[in-house]
A and B are shown apart, each in its own frame.
Chain A
Amino acid sequence: KNQVEQSPQSLIILEGKNCTLQCNYTVSPFSNLRWYKQDTGRGPVSLTIMTFSENTKSNGRYTATLDADTKQSSLHITASQLSDSASYICVVSATNAGKSTFGDGTTLTVKP
């Protein structure tokens, strides 16, 4: 069964600090992995998308890494801001499926 596990479930950090969110998956055959940011009460917004051949991709202060061998991805946030407080969702797609598998997200709270 295709699964996506994210950790930690929730995280609290101080403004200006860095943090790393983890995503482990068992989706196969792998097509791509996406990270989304979802603000409370809003729809998810795409941050990065990576295919099998890519092991890192950046979007401003967000940097995603992918290790397709160990089936792990991480999202690193640098110099966090209060507006980074949100849920971060990892989504993995298979090449032969009609749907993507979503993780349950990591809830990040950035405090002043």
Chain B
Amino acid sequence: ETGVTQSPTHLIKTRGQQVTLRCSSQSGHNTVSWYQQALGQGPQFIFQYYREEENGRGNFPPRFSGLQFPNYSSELNVNALELDDSALYLCASSSGGATSGSQETQYFGPGTRLLVL
């Protein structure tokens, strides 16, 4: 177990709806990254938060947004859901304001599996 938790574990939504996914970081970690993983593919970087500020973003539209709270837990919000948003959503926590150039290891949560019908 990595100490990173995510909720819910599974979720079913319909097109056009909005969804909020939650992540609790490992104790002592101040950086959280969110990833989208489609079936049979590697995780795709959505964005990263460091001390409540966005610290990097991948190629995802603005309807993907996030928050990081003072206790370093985090939310991923997706508006106007599309069928292609169906995927496993992973969050990963790390310490020290890690950017990709850092050697800090990211600890992944178990993921939230989202199905959009």
Residue numbers of A with Cβ under 8 A of B are: 4, 31-32, 34, 36, 41-46, 49, 51, 89, 91, 93-100, 102-105
Contacts and interface: CB of A to CB of B under 8 A. Distances in A.
Contacts of B48: 98-99
A49 B103 contact: yes
Interface of B: 2, 4, 33, 35, 40-45, 48, 55-58, 88, 90, 92, 99-103, 105-111, 113
B44 A45 contact: no
A41 B109 CA distance: 11
Contacts of B55: 98
Contacts, number: 73
B109 to A, nearest CB: 5
B56 to A, nearest CB: 3
B93 to A, nearest CB: 11
